[in-house]
Structure 1
Amino acid sequence: MTADELDPLPGAWRSLGRSLRMGWRSSPAMIATAFCTEVLSAVPDAMFAWGLTAFATAVIAHSGTQIAAGCGLLAAMAAGNWLLETVSSRVNQRFADRAAVVVESHIAELQAGVATIEHHERPAQLDRISVLRDHASALSDLYRHLFTLIGVLLRAAITLGLLASVNPLLLLLGLFPLPTLLVSGRRAAAEKRVEEAGARHDRLARHLFLLATSATAGKELRVARTGPLVRRLRHRAWEQGHRPLARARWVSTAWQAGAQALFAAAFIAALAYTAAHAANRTAAVLLVLAAGSRLSGYIGQTMTQLHFFRTIWLDCSRKLAWLEDYAAKHRAEAEWSAPERLAEGIRLDAVTFAYPGTDRPVLDGIDLLLPAGAVVAVVGENGAGKSSLVKLLCGLYPPTSGRITLDGQDLARTDPVSWRRRVTGTFQDFFAFEFRLRTSVGIGDLPRADDPEAVGTALERAGADDIARALPDGAETRLGAGWPQGVDLSHGQWQRVALARGFMREQPLLTVLDEPTSAVDAETEHALFDRYAVLARSGTRSGTGGVTLLVSHRFSTVRAADLILVLNGARVTEFGTHDQLIALGGHYAQLYGIQAEAYRTGLR
């Protein structure tokens, strides 16, 4: 299945079966209880029309005994129905709460289990994942709605049986809800197509809403006075997504009103026929009136359940099945685990890469060796492909062509989990984990996340130990101003915390530092890199042959690297030590000279 296709109806039913099996594994006992109580409650509810008819007949006949018996019967039916529905509702709610955790965890696991991050950047896939995420809770209610639908259909069947007891021809009344159900099903599918087509507008509207209400963008919105513009853009995006849906719903309403009018006309005709031909007209008319009106209500409930079934439940089941298939398809077919150490290094053979949905390569025909134990710097202008190279080496994307090998072992055939256990570092788009400082650093190496000594060492290596000392509770301080007793950090401090997280692992085979200190001054960055270069070349890390990859715009920092890789126009144009590249007098020497001159001018 591709990202842009959904299974036809047979596939949809199979996906529904998967969702049902997942729900069953959550709590079989609760499901069995909910089913029994829902089905049993249908009997007194549907038979209430018969009891009401018996009571009304007794009142007309002025029979005190029959009136008392009718009152008792109605009370028993009402009480039984209430008790069974209450039990069913409580059990269903408890099950839904439990299933919600299972479903949401399953969706998160599926997304996280995909070896690459491609599905986070393809618009078509994002639309499906967005709809699935927004309606994930609906999947936890799947059994409740299914049992409700079964219960309603059972009530309708009992009601038709009561009508047939008056006259078998009244069974024809059961045919007239079919247009209503048919219209409901078809219109639900049409509405879902419109909703999915507008998913990108909903995502944009949600993004703009978060933009207008988050602290991150607050400063710029206020200074630039762009708040009104953001509100207008959000309103426009919302209208583009919801106007077509509103039109589709009005069309649905018109069709459903016509179908309901057809049933109402048939019901009136049934009453007239019963009044004209029944032997016991009073009792017959009362029964048809009571049962027919309840049948109308059951039709409405069935329409509601079918609408939910077609627009949300079945659709979410199909999208969940698509995500499961996608995760299975993109799960790496590993032939081996990551090596324990590197002897030769990491080699790129004719590696070309273009991002999904584009034909323009950001890396084109890269051939190079990152030697084991080396500190390699990557430089180049913006858009040269530096961060893309980092993503490929981390296994976040597969090359479009060519291959990456670890001592000759194809990275594409290497278990991604085992490889990422041997990868560490810091990215320029790091995430601010608002945990306790100890946890925010420690998750860089989960087995040692609770080791105070390991966390302290990582903070020291990143030059962030002063942050811990300045916080009110040290490493136990909760980060994030939005939490009780939480403390916010500056962008530079958050970056150093992220850098410390990358220092947690002791023996990585690949360490990537992708603009890890862009928020600090050049002198601090230079000192941090020198400290890390010494550590990378020490016995602790060089014993594994680990490669350190530094991406930086500051040439004064990268000059201490063992090798410098120059990317220009998606290609490697130069490769060597700082002195070799300066002597070459090429692109690196030119950029280095420009930056050095700008720095000297700034000093004046």
Structure 2
Amino acid sequence: MKLIVDFVNAGATSTGKGDFGGILILIALTGIVALLTLISQSASRIVSEAQSAIVSDHVQEVLHAKSIEVDLEYYEDSEYYETFHIAQGQAPFRPTAIINGLFQSGRSFITLVTMAALLLSFNWIAALILGFAVLPAVFVQYRYSRKNYRMQSSITPKERRAMYLHSLLTSTNYAKDIRLLGLGQLFISRYRDLREQIRKERLSLAFRGSAEEFASKAIALVVVFGAFAFIAQQAFDGIITIGDMLMYFGAIQQGQSFLNSFLSSLVSLYENNLFLTALYQFLDLKPKVAQPSNPISFPKPIKSGICFEHVGFSYPNTNAMVLKDINLEIRPGQIVALVGENGSGKTTLIKLLCRLYDPQEGTIKIDGIDLRNFRTHDLRQEISAVLQDYANYHFRARENIWLGNVDMPEDMDHIVQAAECSGIDEAIKHLAKGYDTFLGRVFEKDGAELSIGEWQKVALARAFFRDSQVIILDEPTSSLDAKAEENVFNRFKQLAAGKMAIIISHRLSSVTMADRIYYIKEGRVTEQGTHQDLMDQDNEYAQLFKIQAKHYRQ
């Protein structure tokens, strides 16, 4: 542009006819540079889009892998949720922003060096002044980054509560309760109040940051146009040409812009790294249920059985012992029932057996070997468990059952057999697409909505599909009618032949067929024996059974 302006100016002031051909060549070269710039920008957008998608997907995979690695203990710690919330919110775009920032700083640095060389050839003092003019704006950005990080950390609990209220208002799990109890406006009001508090904190910081940014950039603007006045005066006095004036002023503008961009990129890298601290903290979490350094092969088959020896346990961050000096045995081929009041510790025993937690006292052994000497994957592979809070998966019916053992092929014969054992086979066959029907309407409008009892049968089918040595049913028929319950237990006894089975149930009529019953009260085994043994003892089990039987006789 300098050369074009100088050629034009020379031609305009010349008495003879100038050579316009040279100007056309320069214009053509300028056009080629502009075209190459467009091509580079288009290619850059494509590369940036691909790079962002790859990096974001990879980081999400890392988050998912860590999420399933951490133990249940972390899910009972509010600090874990806050760390995970920040990590989940920032991880998808912060790593991409860091990569983009690195490329941007490199690009800015290259251009900056070129502009600096040009300005230094003109006047090194002007170049130095312009460099200092950018520093206030960069310092403001640095301060804002730190304040923004502290503010985000402080509002995270409020954001989590707001997200929870949002899920209450929009999730199908709460839809009936919210309408029946008239809770909608209450939750909307609380959500609105939280979002207003968050918005005020964000706007307050943004207002202060904008005011400081305006002041710093106004200083830089005054310096730039002061430099422009100096350059114009040089051109007016004939010391430099008009083309020089345009070139140097363009260099000043671009130099300031790219210096600001370069330093801003460094500040952005600092800010992004601050926010990634939560991701680092999340990824640094160590499982509390440790894997053995020299694992022992899991016994196949189990010969002597499972033994709880003086087991004591309390949940994290609590002082109350949920289990106290638990001693019980489960022999191969036995069906064992755990009964007792709510909160007595029955389900906790199952969690310990599955190594979702480790006991603080005593040991749990299989064939005389402490559970902690087995790989957790090997242990859990030999356990089929249907817990009280079983999951409903919005997949096809056949996939729902196959999830019971994804290491096995998706064989329809075995899937149907498991469905027959749980009593859900007939219901699935009557669906529009049979076993290919989506369960639930979250993703498919023609999906099938199941009743609570039918969902429970699907969960039971998953347990029956899993070919394991230990079967655990925690309140397995709580949502089934009496006839369906009887059918399930009749089939269950056939499937449990030669295996170890544990049943937890409040319906004592369903545990009478157990080979051994353990009555648990306040974390201790207070009674044990067959149903008839416990009835003959006429203690709490017998009294509870008589109370339930009386209701059936009335």
TM-score computed with the length of structure 2 as normaliser: 0.89
- The within-5 A match list for 1:532-571 is 532-536=492-496, 538=497, 542=498, 546-571=499-524
Contact 1:350 1:402 in 2 (8 A): yes
Compared CA separation, residues 499 and 577, structure 1 to 2 (3 A): same
Question: Is structure 2 residue 176 aligned with structure 1 residue 215?
Answer: no
Contact 1:464 1:497 in 2 (8 A): yes
Compared CA separation, residues 403 and 201, structure 1 to 2 (3 A): farther
Structure 2 distance, partners of 1:66, 1:322, is 63
Paired position in structure 1 for 2:54 = 98
The C-alpha deviation readout for 1:340-373, integer Å capped at 9, x for no partner, is: 2322222223333333333333223323333333
Paired position in structure 2 for 1:581 = 534
Q: Give SS of 2:406's match.
A: helix
Question: Is structure 2 residue 122 aligned with structure 1 residue 169?
Answer: no
Shift of residue 556, structure 1, vs aligned partner: 1.0
Structure 2 distance, partners of 1:448, 1:360, is 41
Contact 1:57 1:283 in 2 (8 A): yes
Contact 2:305 2:367 in 1 (8 A): yes
Contact 2:424 2:458 in 1 (8 A): yes
Paired position in structure 2 for 1:497 = 458
Residue 521 (structure 1) aligned to one of 444, 466, 481: 481
Shift of residue 283, structure 1, vs aligned partner: 4.3
Structure 1 distance, partners of 2:521, 2:28, is 89
Contact 2:423 2:487 in 1 (8 A): no
The C-alpha deviation readout for 1:271-312, integer Å capped at 9, x for no partner, is: 34444567317445433432233344435645764565344x
Contact 2:73 2:316 in 1 (8 A): yes
- Structure ID, larger Rg: 2
Shift of residue 554, structure 1, vs aligned partner: 0.9
Q: Give SS of 2:440's match.
A: coil
Structure 1 distance, partners of 2:301, 2:374, is 14
Amino acid in the other structure paired with 1:128: T
Amino acid in the other structure paired with 1:502: A
Q: Identity over aligned residues, as a percent? A: 29
Question: Is structure 2 residue 60 aligned with structure 1 residue 130?
Answer: no
Contact 2:340 2:520 in 1 (8 A): yes
Paired position in structure 1 for 2:544 = 591
Residue 314 (structure 1) aligned to one of 265, 270, 273: 273
Amino acid in the other structure paired with 1:210: S
- The within-5 A match list for 1:232-381 is 232-275=189-232, 279-280=239-240, 282-298=242-258, 301-302=261-262, 305-306=265-266, 308-311=268-271, 313-315=272-274, 317-327=276-286, 332-334=291-293, 335-381=295-341
Shift of residue 67, structure 1, vs aligned partner: 4.3
Amino acid in the other structure paired with 2:159: D
Paired position in structure 1 for 2:394 = 434
Compared CA separation, residues 296 and 578, structure 1 to 2 (3 A): farther
**Which piece of structure 1 moves more, 488-497 or 385-394?**
385-394
TM-score computed with the length of structure 1 as normaliser: 0.82
Structure 2 distance, partners of 1:513, 1:240, is 46
Compared CA separation, residues 180 and 332, structure 1 to 2 (3 A): farther
Structure 2 distance, partners of 1:328, 1:171, is 56
Amino acid in the other structure paired with 2:285: Y
Question: Is structure 2 residue 348 aligned with structure 1 residue 388?
Answer: yes
Structure 1 distance, partners of 2:501, 2:460, is 14
Shift of residue 316, structure 1, vs aligned partner: 5.6
The C-alpha deviation readout for 1:373-431, integer Å capped at 9, x for no partner, is: 32121222222222222222111122234332222222223211111111112122111
**Which piece of structure 1 moves more, 572-581 or 429-438?**
572-581
Structure 1 distance, partners of 2:262, 2:519, is 66
Amino acid in the other structure paired with 1:134: G
Amino acid in the other structure paired with 1:531: R
**Number of equivalenced pairs:** 540
Cα RMSD (Å) of the superposition? 2.7
Structure 1 distance, partners of 2:524, 2:207, is 56
Contact 1:425 1:503 in 2 (8 A): no
Structure 2 distance, partners of 1:361, 1:292, is 72
Paired position in structure 2 for 1:149 = 105
**Which piece of structure 1 moves more, 479-488 or 223-232?**
479-488
Contact 1:199 1:241 in 2 (8 A): no
Question: Is structure 2 residue 181 aligned with structure 1 residue 224?
Answer: yes
Contact 2:109 2:262 in 1 (8 A): yes
Shift of residue 497, structure 1, vs aligned partner: 0.6
Amino acid in the other structure paired with 1:250: F
Compared CA separation, residues 328 and 210, structure 1 to 2 (3 A): closer
Shift of residue 440, structure 1, vs aligned partner: 0.8
Paired position in structure 1 for 2:15 = none
Question: Is structure 2 residue 67 aligned with structure 1 residue 111?
Answer: yes
Amino acid in the other structure paired with 1:94: A
Runs of at least 5 residues in structure 1 that lack an aligned partner in the other structure: 1-50
